[in-house]
Amino acid sequence: MSAQDPQVWFITGSSRGLGRALVAAALEAGERVVATARRPEALAEAFREHGDRVLPLALDVTSADAAREAVEAAVAHFGRIDVLVNNAGYANVSPIETADDDDFRAQFETNFWGVYHVTKAALPTLRRQGSGTVVQFSSIGGRVGGSPGIASYQAAKFAVDGFSRVLAAETAPFGVRVMVVEPSGFATDWAGSSMTVHAIPDAYDETVGAMNRRVRQGTDGAAGDPRRAAEIIVRTVRRDQVPGHLLLGVNAVTMAVDHSRRRLAEATAWEKVSRSADFGEPYPVPLPPEDRV
């Protein structure tokens, strides 16, 4: 397949938000798309004009069997998969202390295990082809963390990043590329109908409550344009080389750069202490001075 031939995209979580925007952008670029969702009926109607270039499929990403069946159906219909996009995911809000264990686990089932199931199901096809791009949707929170109230979501996104780094190392000899997408806030219903906000105790009002009011229930709206993000991803995948991590949005860039600077400064400040843990290194060494305010 040449770089100009239509590619086959397999996209999870296609019914709304960035997933739906990505289906539209890929089709507008002349690609062929397997658009998956728990309930794909609306997709069939929305993209009917594209005829047999789009294949809507039902898929619950938490089921390994369903993932395998969807991949098999995609390959049977189009003959291959060139771009796998793991986009399906959601977040509910609750402090860790009062989180419902079943809800916390259910989020992780979709946000991490869904990525695992679909990726694993597609790997034999990508390996046999000797080519393919895996696009894993994380978030800027999956890099910097620390957003009160969404511990399950952010923990899963950190796991997706670690999983994807190993995936990239293992599959590079097969011609498979891996790109982790890290958006900041986008104008989708991620913080709307897709999100359940559980009771927030008074003790957590300054952290979880404040974050929820400022970011998730604010009136200004998110700065990110899903259409632009989708078009950027489609254009980027068409390149010979893709970034290992693609930041999307002003806040994503600002937060990533600030986080990297702080991590580097901390590692440098503690460098002598850290090195001293090995045999043969000077020991003991003084700890860095305490910060004084």
Catalytic residues: 138, 153, 157
Calpha distance 186→179 (Å, rounded): 19
Task: Compute the C-alpha angle 65/69/72, nearest 5°.
Answer: 140
Alpha-carbon distance 223 to 110, whole Å?
Answer: 26
Non-local CB neighbours of 62 within 8 Å, separated by 6+ positions: 109, 110, 113, 114, 117
Query: Which two structure tokens, joined as six digits, stand for 188?
Result: 């989708």
CB 215 within 8 Å of CB 208:
no
Q: Closest Cα partner for 179 from 195, 197, 167? A: 167
| Alpha-carbon span 204 to 210, nearest angstrom | 9
Judging by beta carbons within 10 Å of its beta carbon (0-12, 13-18, 19+), is residue 269 exposed, middle or buried? middle
* Closest to 95 in 3D by CA, of 233, 202, 238: 202
**Residue 76 β-bridge partners:** none
